[in-house]
Amino acid sequence: MTEHRINIMDLEHPAAAENKATPEREQEPKVVYASVTERFVALLIDYGLIFIPGQIISRVVLKMWGEEFELWHFFALIGGINLIFILYETIFSCADRVTLGKSLVGIAVMKQDLSGPVSFPRALFRTVGYYISGALLFCGFLLAFFDDRHRALHDFLGGSVVVQIRQKAGWERMAIRFLGGLLLVTFAWTAYQQYFGGGKLMEQYYIRHARLHLRKIALLEESHFVRYGYYTNDLLRLSLLSGDPVQFQRDTQAILEPKGFKIGINGDRYKISAVAKNKAHTRVVYEPEE
């Protein structure tokens, strides 16, 4: 990845550069602090740079796991994506580097006294501050609207400010606003589909595990037939054959809805149906092949 480096001298306003002969106090750089919109767009670009490839890789990995996919696998993958983002944001916010998003928008992170770039530890505290702000219902980000230098909670934690490193034309500012709105809608739609939409990872998880549990019940049904010569629709009786009836009952309650479970017996045939605990309350069915 190409490093984008900044020079603190580049922060000098053009008007100041043209007046080198003026008194020293008039030669001081005029710093323009990054707007909330600029910062927001840069953050979405940087997070998307990690989030989008991470989502693609996660889907491939989860499909490879297949029926062995557990809920903790999903959270481990999400945690890994965010860990990569933390490392990326930290490394490219310290020394004289800038992240891709900030480079495209034309902003950079500096110490709050404008003496130079922040150190690695301060950049790390600053990045972790993103998640603290998120845990506080994003209230930490709202501070940027009230601070005269547009500092959010993570800036206070990292002792930093965000400044413009180049002037922008009117069309560029409009493009940044448009891109920010587009990215916000995209991320909101993706998050909704990921966690609430039908047919997505979490939905598939609950449906898959409901079907697997029906197979376990079917194995107990076959064991009951071998031992007693008939099938039964008594789930409690089947649980006694599991070896750990208490844990079996707990698993059943965790995976299947309490209403909708049924074992139909027709001579030497049986059919098990239940309702998975997903958002759509999908009905799952197991029937042995003839």
Predicted confidence band at 150 (pLDDT cuts at 50, 70, 90)?
very high
Tokens 């789930």 label which residue? Answer: 235
Given a cut of 70, whether residue 40 has pLDDT beyond it is: yes
**What is the average pLDDT value for the chain, to the nearest integer?**
84
Looking at the structure, do residues 130 and 262 belong to the same domain, yes or no?
no
Please indicate, yes or no, whether the overall pTM of this predicted structure exceeds 0.85: no
Displacement of CA 194 from its chain's centroid (Å): 10
Looking at the structure, do residues 50 and 184 belong to the same domain, yes or no?
yes
- Structure-block tokens of residue 10: 């580049």
Looking at the structure, do residues 44 and 103 belong to the same domain, yes or no?
yes
The domain boundary residue, chosen from 172, 195, 218? 195
Radius of gyration of the chain (CA): 29
pLDDT for residue 194:
60
Looking at the structure, do residues 189 and 214 belong to the same domain, yes or no?
no
Q: Is residue 103 part of a domain?
A: yes
DSSP 179-190: HHHHHHHHHHHH
Given a cut of 80, whether residue 66 has pLDDT beyond it is: no
Looking at the structure, do residues 163 and 57 belong to the same domain, yes or no?
yes
pLDDT for residue 17:
47
State which of 51-60, 165-174, 221-230 shows the largest mean pLDDT: 221-230
Looking at the structure, do residues 161 and 219 belong to the same domain, yes or no?
no
Q: Is residue 204 part of a domain?
A: no
| Segment among 10-24, 74-88, 117-131, 218-232 with least mean pLDDT | 10-24
pLDDT for residue 5:
57
Given a cut of 50, whether residue 9 has pLDDT beyond it is: no
Predicted confidence band at 198 (pLDDT cuts at 50, 70, 90)?
very low
Higher-confidence position of 58 and 154: 154
Q: Is residue 226 part of a domain?
A: yes
Q: Is residue 182 part of a domain?
A: yes
Q: Is residue 43 part of a domain?
A: yes
Looking at the structure, do residues 221 and 149 belong to the same domain, yes or no?
no
Q: Is residue 165 part of a domain?
A: yes
Average pLDDT, stretch 40-67?
82
pLDDT for residue 93:
95
Looking at the structure, do residues 93 and 179 belong to the same domain, yes or no?
yes
- Between CA 182 and CA 180 the distance in angstroms is 5
Looking at the structure, do residues 97 and 224 belong to the same domain, yes or no?
no
Looking at the structure, do residues 110 and 172 belong to the same domain, yes or no?
yes
| Segment among 68-72, 105-109, 147-151, 171-175 with least mean pLDDT | 68-72
The domain boundary residue, chosen from 195, 226, 254? 195
Q: How many domains does the chain have?
A: 2
Looking at the structure, do residues 219 and 245 belong to the same domain, yes or no?
yes
Predicted confidence band at 4 (pLDDT cuts at 50, 70, 90)?
low
The answer to whether the beta carbons of residues 27 and 9 sit under 8 Å apart is no
| Segment among 181-190, 192-201, 225-234 with least mean pLDDT | 192-201
Tokens 């702000």 label which residue? Answer: 133
Predicted confidence band at 114 (pLDDT cuts at 50, 70, 90)?
very high
Average pLDDT, stretch 208-215?
90
Q: Is residue 38 part of a domain?
A: yes
Higher-confidence position of 124 and 96: 124
Name 110's Cβ contacts closer than 8 Å, sequence gap at least 6: 8, 116, 117, 118, 160, 161, 162, 163
7 φ, ψ (degrees, to nearest 5):
-120, 125
Predicted confidence band at 258 (pLDDT cuts at 50, 70, 90)?
confident
- What are the Cα distances from residue 57, in Å, to 68, 191, 233? 17, 16, 43
Higher-confidence position of 248 and 57: 248
The domain boundary residue, chosen from 195, 218, 234? 195
Looking at the structure, do residues 175 and 214 belong to the same domain, yes or no?
no
Model confidence over 155-194: pLDDT tens digits?
Answer: 999 999 999 998 888 888 888 888 878 887 877 777 666 6
Q: Is residue 265 part of a domain?
A: yes
- What are the Cα distances from residue 230, in Å, to 87, 136, 199, 236, 266? 60, 58, 37, 16, 10
Structural domain that includes position 275: 209-286
Higher-confidence position of 77 and 220: 220
pLDDT for residue 203:
76
Average pLDDT, stretch 109-117?
94
Given a cut of 50, whether residue 63 has pLDDT beyond it is: yes
- Structure-block tokens of residue 210: 């409901």
Best CA proximity match to 120, nearest among 91, 146, 97, 149: 91
